């Protein structure tokens, strides 16, 4: 019995000294400019990894809102952190221009 207490005390003592290291997770966000039925312009931020969306009147507001939505979501479902992945660096994102040939567009439509 004394040995059991001693082992338990040892575990409690070592857990009290536990150091938590912060992990960095990155969420991929895509922001699209959209128009409401009232013709008001909004920016919709989509977290592609978690399937969450939020919006704002500016890109900055949309980013702030999606970050808050993600934090609340992960607070309720911490196991979803695995869907984000643990990485050293965020994903790279780029935009490319795609041109449509005016002659082809005219003959098609």
| Residue 53 CB contacts under 8 Å (≥ 6 apart), including other chains | 44, 45, 46, 47, 66, 69
Residue 99: its pLDDT value, please? 85
Specify the number of domains making up the chain: 1
Q: By residue range, what is the domain housing residue 69?
A: 21-89
Q: DSSP letters along 73-106, please?
A: HHHH-GGGHHHH-B-SSPPP---------HHHHH
pLDDT at 88: 64
Most confident stretch, 57-61, 82-86, 97-101: 57-61
- Residue 74: inside a domain, yes or no? yes
- Can you give the CATH number for the domain in which 40 is found? 3.30.160
Residue 12 falls within a domain, yes or no? Answer: no
User: In this structure, is residue 101 part of a structural domain?
Assistant: no
From 25, 20, 28, 22, select the one nearest 87 (Cα to Cα): 25
Q: What is the mean pLDDT of the chain?
A: 78
Is 44 inside any structural domain?
yes
Residue 46 pLDDT > 50, yes or no?
Answer: yes
* Domain assignment of residue 15, yes or no: no
pLDDT of residue 12: 46
Flag whether pLDDT at 56 surpasses 80.
yes
């Amino acid at each position: 019995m004394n040995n059991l207490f001693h082992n338990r005390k040892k575990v409690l003592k070592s857990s009290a000294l536990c150091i938590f290291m912060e992990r960095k997770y990155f969420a991929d966000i895509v922001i699209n400019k959209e128009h409401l039925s009232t013709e008001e312009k909004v920016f919709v931020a989509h977290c592609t990894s978690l399937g969450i969306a939020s919006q704002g009147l500016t890109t900055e507001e949309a980013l702030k809102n999606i970050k808050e939505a993600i934090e609340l979501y992960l607070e309720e479902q911490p196991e979803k952190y695995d869907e984000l992945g643990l990485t050293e660096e965020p994903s790279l994102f780029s935009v490319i221009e795609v041109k449509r040939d005016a002659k082809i567009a005219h003959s098609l439509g």
